[in-house]
Structures are given as C-alpha cells and as structure tokens.
Amino acid sequence: MRTIRVCWSIWLGYLIVLLSLLIGGSRSVRLREYKFEVGYMKKKPDCIENSYVMGINGHFPGPTIRAHVGDTLHISLFNNISTNEPTSIHWHGISQYGTPWADGTASISQCAINPGETFHYRFTVDKAGTYFYHGHYGLQRSAGLYGSLIVDLALGQKEPFHYHSEFNLLLSDWWHNTSFHQELSLSSKPFQWIGEPQSLLINGRGQYNCSMAANTMNNNATLPQCKFRTSDEECAPQILHVHPNKTYRIRIASTTSLSSLNFAISNHKMVVVEADGNYVDPFEVDDIDIYSGESYSILITTNQNPNNNYWISIGVRGRKPNTPQALTILNYKKASISSSNIIIPNSPPPITPQWNDFNRSKAFTNKIHALMGSPKPPTHYDHRLLLLNTQNLIDGYTKWAINNISLVLPQTPYLGSIKFKINAAFDRRHPSENFSNGYDIFSPPINPNANFGNRVYMFNMNQVVDVILQNANVLSGKNSDIHPWHLHGHDFWVLGYGDGKFKQGYDEKKFNLKNPPLKNTAAVFPYGWTALRFRANNPGVWFFHCHIEAHLHMGMGVIFAEGVQLVKGIPKQALACGLTKKIIMSFNTTNN
C-alpha cells in the first residue's frame, strides 16, 4: 500500500513538472501569426483629400506588432500593390540572428516580393524595445509603408524603471508628390531634389498648412488656425489622455524619409531611458532630437496644473525647414476633451530649436550613455573602415558615394550568391577601406565624378569592426548634410563624434570605451565624423546605409557580410530569382 502511495506521489510530481513545463514553455515561447496585405489606399494623412498611401490590411500606418522577448513572429506578406511594384519589409532593429533571409532587404537578404506573391517572414524577437517596420524597396517608406513593432520583456522580467502606463508615437514625413514622382525627380538629368515634406505626421496624422495653435495667446504663428477635427476624422490628431501625478512612458520612433526632428512637450521635462532598444543611463531634458531610423523611450510625470492641456510638438531640425510643426495634445483628464469641446492649451507650443544649431544637436547626442551593466565594447578592433560620404556626379546624374562608389544593388540577392559562390552575381573585388588623405572635406569635390559599384565588405566571424563615417561638403556651394546611418543585423557602440576630418592615432584616444551607447542608427553631423564599433557575430549579409530614403536611393550605402557559410535553412522563396533561382529549385527542401 505504502509503495503504491509513493509511486503515485512520484507520478503526480512528474505530472506537475510536465504540466508546468508545458504551460511555462508555451508562455515563454509563443508563435504570433500575422497576415499582412500591402496595397495602396485612398487616405488623407494631412487632411488633403484624394491622397494615396501604401498601407497594410487597409490601415495606415500598418498594424502595430506587439510581442514578448523569445516569441517567434510569422508574418505572411501578400503583395497586393496595384501598380505592379515589388516590395519587401524590413524589421528595423531586430537582429535576425539565425534568420538573415528574413531581414527584408530586396537584393540583399531576399528576392523582392512580386505582385500577387506571398512571402513568409519567420523570426524571433530577442531584445525588448521600441522598434518599427518599413518597406525596403524603392521609395515605399515615403509612400507610407510602415508600422510599429514593440517587444516587451519576457513575462516575469522587469524594466529598470517604473511607469504607470505608456503611449506609442511613430513619427513620419509626408509629401504631396507621389513616391513615383519623387523617384523620377531623383533620377532625372538635370537632377531634381524632392524638397522638404509638406507635413509631419504623428501616428500617420497631420494637418497641412495650418496650425492648431494659431489662435493661442502670444503666438506669432503665420499659419491660419486649423479647422477643428473630430476624433472620428482620419487626420484628427491622436490625443494622449493622462491622469495627474502619474508617470508615463512615451515610445517614440522616427521612420521619416528625410526629416530630422525635435520632439517636445510644453511644461514637461522628459527622462530618456531607452534608445534603439537599449537601456540608457537616464538623463533629463526639455526635448529630444530624433533622426530617421532612431527610437527612444522617455518618461514624463504629469505634475502640471491638471486644469490645463499641453502641446506635444515635432519640428524639423538639421535642414532648413519648410514644413510646419506637427502638434498633438497632452490631455489631463480633468481638462476634459471631447469631440465638441476641445480645450486648446492656453500657452503657445514649444519652439523647435534653430535648425542649424548643430552644437545643440551634438550636446544632446553626447548625453546618451549606456546604462550600467550594459555590454561593453571590446577595447581593440580587428578591422577598421574609413568611409567618406560624398555627393557626386555619374554621367551627369547626381548621386551619393562612399569612398567614391555609389551602390547599385545586383539582381541576385547577395545572401544566395555568396552562400552558393555564384561569382558572376556581383563584383568580387575588395571595396576600398579608406580614402585619399588629401581629400578636402570642407569644399565641393575637385573631381566630382564617382562610379557605380556593388562590392561587399567581408568580415571574419567575430571580428571587431570599427567604422569611421566621414562627412564632407556637397557637390556645390558651402553645405554638408546630416546623415543618420543604420546598420542591419547588429547594434554598434557609438564611440564618439568629432568635427572636421578624423585623425587616425589621435582622435581615437578620445573614444568612449567606458559606457558608449549601443544603437542601430547614429548621425554623422555636417563636416564631422562618427566612430562606431561592432562585432561581426551574426552570419548573414547586412545593409549599412543612410536612412534618408532619397539618399539611399541615390546610392548611399554599403554591404557587409560575415559567416555566410554558416547560414542554414534559407527558404526557397527567398532566393527564387536571378542567378540563384535554378540552384534553389534543385533542392528538394529548404535545408540548404
């Protein structure tokens, strides 16, 4: 009798362990399935009728994806674009460790998805943070193909800061010319620049050529007062409703095609706690600068007079603006707001700092440090690239070039052509790792001619790579643009920024090796340099490029690759084009 009871209790124990494994296991590793149908839709992002945007499942911006660390996402992406355009979607900030074919870069990680085709993105999200996704084909980001991607900590884990509730703001810019028009302008001779956007959007909503704050006291706005929009109107600003004396996390990501932005909330200080999915040493500011491709989390405390509402503003920095601020409202519940009774804040909105006060921009950037306990950079590098950013001419067309090469992507995705050693797919020679010592970065290029190219910077697995981005003067006149550079597949440590030309052996002595922030996007300021370090530890082929969509289109990017022979399980459909099509079709499984 006693042995039977002992056996029973052992079995019961096993059963409990098994059940808890099953329940716990299914909780920690969850498969999340999404069906995305990409297509054009008639919308009015900035209240102008008859605009067409590229959206997903009838939504613009596309649906927000929300997952936990460790989850696997399966997104079936159906190309329903009526204008016969291929597409692909990049999951910005997600490492794609083990799934480089799911990075969403047409011609690099996969074949572009043709109209009528469905591509299955399957990948795991491995780091909590504020991310987003966007089209990575042609100028589809400018057409509106983007949405938010938020990764929460695994259940039971805690953030290193406290908040009661959160909001999510995805920032973008909007042109009244279509993305086709923009593409034609950029590739015309003589060159026709796309110009500044007509409107800025907060969660896909803006109001063209008017200001919600025009009638507020002491406001010297030159724009007319916007018509009042009820909350059921497409372009009505999304209002942030808060309770007094609480702490809110505001997630802010910028998927702008061009604009560098400044984000501010009147009367409220903000504490920056996260940048590009990495915790930072918290610091308090009145406003933040955010470049295309970046994301931040800030904390605000609602400690102001609860009988008032407050403006939330974004305005253009870094380029001479020709676009009004976009505004929305922080609404304390007491200062009630309803579709018929809007309490417009009684003070003017925050003033966006001078667009060309670059010292202010640099001062903000230099405040960002990694939170204590974050991974530290290796103290030495194995491989250093010095990449000169220049505006050039090729056959009279205006382009951007890196070490005199303007990138033109090949037909066959690099991931396949490197793995299967198809030599004819791209230029196998080593790209240049340096530029002429005598290059005068402060003047227009003496010889403005550059060349097209598609070579690859190949790294050995686990090498430590330094990239020094060097800015320079544009083709003509006295100017140097800001470029936010984004790396796919990795975070990098931002070791430092400097003015003028980078001096090897001297400037590196000032690198921050103690607590540099980990990021996936960093700006290079006019006439300056930015130093980045990363470990080439993610088998695959990775884009590294300026996140200004027009600049990327004009050739401003390079290709990195490491450990491609280690990549396994590329789905056939990722490589069923160009020179890999035949090879991949001869395999009977995906097991390549």
- The least CB distance from residue 259 to ligand ASC, in Å, is 11
164-193 footprint of ligand ASC as x/- string (CB under 6 A): -----------------------------x
Name every residue whose Cβ is closer than 8 Å to that of residue 4 and which is 6 or more positions away in sequence.
none
103 binds ligand ASC (CB under 6 A): no
Tokens read off for 514 = 């103690």
Residue 203 three-state SS: coil
55-94 footprint of ligand ASC as x/- string (CB under 6 A): ----------------------------------------
474 binds ligand ASC (CB under 6 A): yes
Residue 565 DSSP one-character state: G
Q: Using CA atoms, how far apart are residues 134 and 54, in angstroms rounded to an integer?
A: 11
- The least CB distance from residue 524 to ligand ASC, in Å, is 13
Q: Using CA atoms, how far apart are residues 269 and 282, in angstroms rounded to an integer?
A: 12
For ligand ASC (CB under 6 A), the number of binding residues is 4
Q: Using CA atoms, how far apart are residues 557 and 547, in angstroms rounded to an integer?
A: 9
Residue 227 or residue 478: which is nearer to ligand ASC going by CB? 478
Residue 425 or residue 482: which is nearer to ligand ASC going by CB? 482
Residue 482 or residue 561: which is nearer to ligand ASC going by CB? 482
Q: Using CA atoms, how far apart are residues 199 and 208, in angstroms rounded to an integer?
A: 6
Exposed, middle or buried by CB within 10 Å (0-12, 13-18, 19+), for 50?
Answer: exposed
Residue 193 or residue 228: which is nearer to ligand ASC going by CB? 193
- The least CB distance from residue 185 to ligand ASC, in Å, is 10
Residue 163 or residue 191: which is nearer to ligand ASC going by CB? 191
Residue nearest to ligand ASC (CB): 193
**Residue among 119, 120, 75, 72 at smallest CA distance from 98:** 72
Is 435 in contact with 390 (CB distance < 8 Å)? no
356 binds ligand ASC (CB under 6 A): no
Q: How far apart are the first and last CA of the chain?
A: 57
- The least CB distance from residue 316 to ligand ASC, in Å, is 13
**Residue among 413, 424, 550, 378 at smallest CA distance from 104:** 413
- Which residues between 533 and 552 bind ligand ASC (CB under 6 A)? 551
Is 293 in contact with 258 (CB distance < 8 Å)? no
Residue 112 or residue 474: which is nearer to ligand ASC going by CB? 474
Using the rule CB under 6 A, which residue among 71, 183, 274, 481 binds ligand ASC? 481
Residue 293 DSSP one-character state: T
374-413 footprint of ligand ASC as x/- string (CB under 6 A): ----------------------------------------
**Residue matched to tokens 């925050």:** 350
Q: Contact positions toward ligand ASC, by CB under 6 A? A: 193, 474, 481, 551
